Structure 1
Amino acid sequence: MFDSVKGFGLTFSTMFKKRVTIKYPDVPQPAAPRYHGRHVLNRHPDGLEKCVGCELCAWACPADAIYVEGGDNTEDARYSPGERYGAVYQINYARCIFCGLCIEACPTRSLTMSNSYELASDSRADLIYTKEQLLAPLLPGMEAPPHAMRLGANETDYYVQGPTNPGASAGAERPDRSEPKEVVR
């Protein structure tokens, strides 16, 4: 008897408190800055894909959610600066555990995770994202591949030296490393 009165007391005490609800579908909540959401395949400032089809992300995935099939670039059809590119790229979000190990395994930093968390679907087939769905959109000044390399003569110009025009990649300028700055005390 005493337990049921105690239980009803808790119910009645919370009945008149202010409700803490969010209007999620109408007003989406912002995710935390380091939230692991949907994957994004990044591009170079000229529009070429950063993915070189090495398949390291697929090997690092503990859930076996990533499938990559590499293809060879030719002079007529160049999709990335290297010899190869990711011809087929799929991520199965029904299997993905959003651990981020694929991001750490990527040698070219082509794969990153966004803050997008809306992945719900009525069908499991809709949860398999293809390369076209994962690729970052073309920004102003970018050209859709295949095309020739615009930022240098070889892939070293893309991956080691970086872009020649400051601010082209990720909107950040490269620091000036020509001379060390003098410190005044």
Structure 2
Amino acid sequence: MIHGSIHLLEEKCTSCMICARECPTWCIRLTSHMEQTVPAPGARPRTHNVLDTFTIDWSLCMYCGVCIEQCPTDALVWGGAHVPPADSLADLLHGRDELAPTEGGG
């Protein structure tokens, strides 16, 4: 298993915030909102979190894997190589698009 960058499997993320709370460097930030599901006839309405933003600040990340280990839905997985150096700190903030796995699986 290559322990490099971290990928977000967005369809599995429930916005529970466990990854952000358990991260020792607080490099993960996420926002979400609540949506109500359409109930089946006779059932009560339910709400669930919907992910709005998810960002990892690679200038803070220690690549420790705590977020991956603690994620109850396996929405975070090890990706390929480490994130390359950048010209500015802003370039080390990766959002949902950059954290998505590539077609090649890594």
Q: TM-score range by the shorter chain?
A: 0.7 to 0.9
Question: Equivalent residue for 1:135?
Answer: 100
Kindly indicate whether the alpha-carbon contact (under 8 Å) linking 1:41 and 1:112 is maintained by their aligned counterparts in 2: yes
Structure 2: segments with no counterpart, 5+ residues: 38-46
> Which structure shows the higher strand fraction?
2
Deviations 1:7-46 (A, max 9, x none): xxxxxxxxxxxxxxxxxxxxxxxxxxx2321111115xxx
Aligned partner of residue 117 in structure 1, secondary structure: coil
Structure 1: segments with no counterpart, 5+ residues: 1-33, 44-48, 76-81, 140-169, 171-185
TM-score of the superposed pair, with normalisation by structure 1: 0.47
Shift of 1:72: 2.5
Question: Equivalent residue for 2:4?
Answer: 37
- Larger RCO (alpha carbons 8 Å, 6+ apart): 2
Change (3 A) 1:61 1:135: same
Shift of 1:119: 1.9
Q: 2:20 aligns with which of 58, 62, 68?
A: 58
Q: 1:120 aligns with which of 85, 96, 99?
A: 85
Aligned partner of residue 94 in structure 1, secondary structure: coil
Kindly indicate whether the alpha-carbon contact (under 8 Å) linking 2:58 and 2:83 is maintained by their aligned counterparts in 1: no
Distance 2:34 2:100 in 1: 19
Alignment of 1:1-185 (within 5 A): 34-42=1-9, 49-73=11-35, 83-137=48-102
TM-score of the superposed pair, with normalisation by structure 2: 0.78
Kindly indicate whether the alpha-carbon contact (under 8 Å) linking 1:40 and 1:112 is maintained by their aligned counterparts in 2: yes
Distance 1:55 1:111 in 2: 12
Aligned length: 96
Distance 1:113 1:100 in 2: 8
Distance 2:97 2:49 in 1: 17
Kindly indicate whether the alpha-carbon contact (under 8 Å) linking 2:18 and 2:67 is maintained by their aligned counterparts in 1: yes
Question: Equivalent residue for 1:5?
Answer: none
Kindly indicate whether the alpha-carbon contact (under 8 Å) linking 1:37 and 1:116 is maintained by their aligned counterparts in 2: yes
Identical residues among aligned pairs (%): 30
Residue type of the alignment partner of 1:35: I
Shift of 1:100: 0.2
